Amino acid sequence: MDYFHSVTAIPTVAIIAFPLLFLFSFLWISRRNKNSKKTAPEAGGAWPIIGHLRLLGGPQPPHISLANMADKYGRMFTIKLGVHRALVVSDWEIAKECLTTNDKAFASRPKLASSELLTYNRAMFGFAPYGPYWRHMRKIATIELLSNHRLELLKHVRESEVKTSLQQLYQLWNKKRSANSDKLLVEMKGWFKEVTLNVIMRMIVGKRIPNSSEGVEQLKWKKSMDDFIVLSGKFLISDALPFLRWLDIGGDMKCMKKTGKELDQVVQGWLREHKQKRAENKANGEEDFMGVMLSILSDREEHHADTINKATCLSLVLAAEDTTSITLTWVLSLLLNNRDKLSKVQQELNVHVGKDRLLVTESDTKNLVYLQSIIKETLRLYPPAPLSVIHEAMEDCTVNGYHVSAGTWLIMNLYKIHHDPLIWANPFEFQPERFMTTHKDIDVRGQNFELVPFGSGRRMCPGVSFALQILLFTLANVLHWFEFETPSNEAVDMSEALGITNSKATPLEVHITPRLPGIQTRRKQHQKLVERPSLPLRRARTTSHKLWLAWLTNIKRIFSIKLGVHRALVVNNWEIAKECLTINDKVFATRPNLACTELMGYNRAMIGFAPYGPYWRQMRKICIIELLSNHRLNLLKHVRESEVKTSLQQLYQLWNKKKSSKSDKVLVEMKRWFRDVTLNVILRIVVGKRIPNSYEGVETVKWNPKAED
C-alpha cells in the first residue's frame, strides 16, 4: 500500500514540478538575455591583464592613437584599461547624446592616482566626483569669479596686466635691440604663459608673479605647474591595475607626491598671507577670490577649510593659465605659418582700431570678426584638452543603442570630432574663413557639438567666458603692437607635447619689432603734466566748472593745478577719464581729508566721504544690499507710488484752495515741491517717516536750510 502510494505520488510531483522548472528556466534565460545586452564593439589588440593600456603610453599623443583606432573600429568603441572598461566616442552626435540625454549618468570622475596625489585627494572640483561638494564648489567659483558680472568688475585687471606685459616686452626690445637691426628674438610661449598667469593670479590671490625677463626666481614654481599638467594626463598602470599600486611602476606616483607638495607649499604661503592681513585688518582694495573663500568657509573646521580653499584656488590658477596660454601659442604659431592670415587680421585691426591708438579695448574686440574666427579655428585644430577629462558612468545607461554599465569610463576624442571630414571641409587646414561663411553659426560654448573645445553639459569648463575674453583681448593687443616673423622665415614646428592638455612641444621663438609709430613717442608714463599758472586763493563768484570751461581754449586735456600744499589733476577728456576710472580705478578710489568731511560727515563716517578701505566697502555693501538693490527697490515700490500720489494730491488741494474766481492759475515754486517729494520718498525708505510738505506750513522751514547748508 505504501509502495502504491509512493508510485502514484510521482506523477503528481512531476505535474507540480514541471511548470515550476519551466518557469525557473524561462526566468533564468530571460535574466541571462537581459544581462547580455548589446554592448559597443571592443577594439582589437588588447593584451592580457593590461588591455589597451600600452596603446595610450606610446610616443604619440593618446588622442592621435585613439583617432587612428576610430578609423578602424568606428565612431564608438570600447577599450580595456586593466580592470576598467572605457567607452571612446569620436562622433559629435554620440557625444551630444552622452552630454545631454545621459549628462547626469556621465557626470562623475574616476578615482585616479593623479586625482588623489595632485588634487588634495580630489578636492579640486574639476576632478571631484559628482555630488554636493562638487556642486557647491563649482557654484562658488562661478558666482564669485567666473560669472559675467564678476568678469566685468575685474576687467581692469585684464587690461592692466596685458598693458603692463606689452610695455615690458617693448622695454625689453628697446633695451636689447642692436644698432644693426630693429628685430629682437623673443620666446613667446613663455611670454603668453606669464601674461595669463599674472591675470589669473591677480584675480585669485591679488598678486602677480614678476616677469621672468626681470630675472626673478620663478623656475621652480613654474616647473611644478608644468609637471602637474604632464603628470595629471598620464595613464598609470596603478590606475588600470590597482592591486599593483604599491609597486609604483615607473615612479610616477613618487613624482606626483613631490609635485603636489611643492605646489602646496606655494599655495599655503598665499593663504598664510591672506589670514595675516585679515587678522591685522590690512585688507587693501577689492577682495580677491581667496579672500572670498576665507569668508565663505569661515564656519568650517580650519584644516578642512584650508584644504578646500587651497585646492579650489590652485585648480583655477592651473586650468586658466595652462589652457589659455596654450591656445595663444597655437594661434600665433598658425598665423606665422600662414602669413596671409596674419596680414589680414592686422589689417582688420588697422580698420577697427587704427595705428594712432596704443591699446585695443574689450569693446573693440566685438568688431574683430576675423580674429574671433581665427580663435575658433585654432580651438578646432588644437583643442586645449583633446580627450576631455575622463567621465565615469554613475549608473547604467544606453548610448547610440548600446548598453553602458555603471563604472564605465567615457573618453570623448574632441580632436577626432573637430577633424571629422563630414563636418569640416579640409579638416587639417587652417581656414578661419569657414567661421565667417559655412560655419558662421557654430559657437564654442557647448551648444554646437561639432565644436566643443571647452566640453559641454554639467562638467563643462566653467571658465569659458574668461578664456574667450583673455584670448581676444591679449591677441588683439599683441598683434596690434608688434610685427612677428620667424628666424630665417622658417616654418614653425607644430609638434604636440604629452599631457592632459595639448601644448606645443617646442618653444616659439620669433623676431618682434614695434608696429605702431606712436609707441616710441607716446611714453605716457614719463610725460610731464602741464601745470597751469597759479591762481590766488579767493572766493570767486563764477562756479568752478565754468572757470575750467573758460580755460579750455588754452589748455590740454589733462593738466595739474596747485591748491595750496596740494596738487590736483584736472581731466577734461572722456578717454582719460575712462582710464582713471577703469585701469586706475583702485588707485583713485579714496577721498581727501577735508574739514567739511570731518566736521559734517561724522569724522568721515558718511560712506560718500569715507576713505577707501574695509569700512567703506562694508558700509557700501550694506547700503546696496539692504536699500539700493533691485530686489529692495522693487519691495519698496509702494513707498514711491504713495509719496508721489500724496504730493500730487497736496498740490491739487493747494491749487483748489488758492485759485481765485477770476483765474484757475496758481503760482507754485516747483523747485521746492520737487525737493519735498524726493525728500519724503527717501525718508520713508530710510527712517520710516515723512516730513510734512512745506506747503502745509509746519516746521520743515528749519530742516530745509540746514540740509542746503
What is the DSSP code string of 515-566?
--TTTTT--GGGPPPEEPPP------SS-HHHHHHHHTTTS-SEEEEEETTE
For position 23, what pLDDT does the model report?
Answer: 53
Q: How far apart are CA 20 and CA 261, in angstroms?
A: 64
For position 411, what pLDDT does the model report?
Answer: 96
Q: pLDDT per residue over 420-441, tens digit each?
A: 999 999 999 999 999 999 999 9
Read off the DSSP letter of residue 96.
H
For position 7, what pLDDT does the model report?
Answer: 35
Phi, psi at 675, each rounded to 5°: -65, -45
In a domain, 115, yes or no: no
**401 in the same domain as 254:** yes
In three-state form (DSSP H/G/I as H, E/B as E, the rest C), the secondary structure along 397-456 is EEECCEEECCCCEEEECHHHHHCCCCCCCCCCCCCHHHHHCCCCCCCCCCCCCCCCCCCC
Torsion sign, CA atoms 233, 237, 241, 247:
negative
For position 5, what pLDDT does the model report?
Answer: 37
For position 283, what pLDDT does the model report?
Answer: 60
274-283, 441-450, 519-528, 646-655: least confidently modelled range: 519-528
- How much is the mean pLDDT over the chain? 85
Q: How far apart are CA 675 and CA 643, in angstroms?
A: 12
**571 in the same domain as 511:** no
Question: Is the distance from CB of 515 to CB of 535 less than 8 angstroms?
Answer: no
Domain tally for the chain? Answer: 3
Q: How far apart are CA 230 and CA 505, in angstroms?
A: 12
Indicate whether 635 pLDDT > 80. yes
Q: Render 215-255 in DSSP notation, one character per residue.
A: T---HHHHHHHHHHHHHHT---HHHH-GGGGGG-TTSHHHH
CB environment 482-510: b (16+ within 10 A), e (fewer) = bbbebeeeeebeeebbbbbbbbbeeebeb
**408 in the same domain as 313:** yes
**470 in the same domain as 350:** yes
**277 in the same domain as 417:** yes
pLDDT band at residue 621 using 50, 70 and 90 as cut-offs: confident
Q: pLDDT per residue over 33-56, tens digit each?
A: 545 589 999 999 899 988 988 877
**571 in the same domain as 426:** no
**322 in the same domain as 246:** yes
pLDDT band at residue 381 using 50, 70 and 90 as cut-offs: very high
Indicate whether 616 pLDDT > 90. no
**Structural domain ending residue among the three candidates 469, 497, 524:** 524
Q: pLDDT per residue over 428-478, tens digit each?
A: 999 999 999 999 999 999 999 999 999 999 999 999 999 999 999 999 999
Q: How far apart are CA 27 and CA 190, in angstroms?
A: 65
Distances (CA, A) of 17 to 2, 8, 12, 29, 193: 22, 15, 9, 18, 77
**262 in the same domain as 169:** yes
**511 in the same domain as 570:** no
Q: Which residues, 6 or more positions from 498, have their beta carbon under 8 angstroms from its beta carbon?
A: 61, 230, 233, 234
In a domain, 549, yes or no: no
pLDDT: which is higher, 135 or 59? 135
Q: What percent of the chain has pLDDT over 70?
A: 85
For position 449, what pLDDT does the model report?
Answer: 96
Q: How far apart are CA 380 and CA 619, in angstroms?
A: 48
For position 631, what pLDDT does the model report?
Answer: 82
Q: Are strands 530-531 and 558-563 parallel, antiparallel or unpaired?
A: parallel
In a domain, 61, yes or no: no
Q: Are strands 409-412 and 84-89 parallel, antiparallel or unpaired?
A: parallel
For position 574, what pLDDT does the model report?
Answer: 86
In a domain, 484, yes or no: yes
The number of residues making up the chain comes to 709
pLDDT: which is higher, 411 or 646? 411
Burial, 465: exposed, middle or buried (Cβ in 10 Å; 0-12, 13-18, 19+)?
middle
Q: Does residue 596 have a known ligand-binding role? A: no
For position 222, what pLDDT does the model report?
Answer: 82
Q: What percent of the chain has pLDDT over 90?
A: 52
Residue 115: which H helix or E strand, with range?
helix 113-117
Indicate whether 8 pLDDT > 80. no
In a domain, 6, yes or no: no
CATH of the domain at 146: 1.10.630.10
For position 348, what pLDDT does the model report?
Answer: 97
In a domain, 63, yes or no: no
For position 284, what pLDDT does the model report?
Answer: 58
For position 543, what pLDDT does the model report?
Answer: 53
**Structural domain ending residue among the three candidates 503, 524, 545:** 524
pLDDT: which is higher, 216 or 117? 117
For position 60, what pLDDT does the model report?
Answer: 83
Q: pLDDT per residue over 281-321, tens digit each?
A: 766 556 899 999 999 998 888 889 999 999 999 999 999 99
pLDDT: which is higher, 543 or 674? 674
Q: pLDDT per residue over 336-378, tens digit each?
A: 999 999 999 999 999 999 988 889 999 999 999 999 999 999 9
Question: Is the distance from CB of 198 to CB of 204 less than 8 angstroms?
Answer: no
Distances (CA, A) of 352 to 365, 367, 562: 9, 7, 39
pLDDT band at residue 658 using 50, 70 and 90 as cut-offs: confident
Max Cα-Cα span within the chain? 141
**Structural domain ending residue among the three candidates 497, 524, 551:** 524
For position 703, what pLDDT does the model report?
Answer: 59
Q: pLDDT per residue over 569-607, tens digit each?
A: 999 888 888 888 888 888 888 999 888 888 888 888 888
In a domain, 387, yes or no: yes
Mean pLDDT of 199-219: 73
pLDDT band at residue 709 using 50, 70 and 90 as cut-offs: low
pLDDT band at residue 624 using 50, 70 and 90 as cut-offs: confident
**570 in the same domain as 484:** no
**453 in the same domain as 406:** yes
**583 in the same domain as 469:** no
For position 700, what pLDDT does the model report?
Answer: 55
C-beta atoms surrounding 290 within 10 Å: 23
For position 10, what pLDDT does the model report?
Answer: 38
What's this model's pTM, rounded to 2 decimal places?
0.71
Indicate whether 515 pLDDT > 50. yes
Residue 568: which H helix or E strand, with range?
strand 566-571
- List the 530-531 sheet strands across, edge first: 530-531, 558-563, 566-571
pLDDT band at residue 210 using 50, 70 and 90 as cut-offs: low
Q: How far apart are CA 645 and CA 497, in angstroms?
A: 71
Domain limits for position 379: 120-524
In a domain, 613, yes or no: no
For position 56, what pLDDT does the model report?
Answer: 76
For position 692, what pLDDT does the model report?
Answer: 62
C-beta atoms surrounding 526 within 10 Å: 6
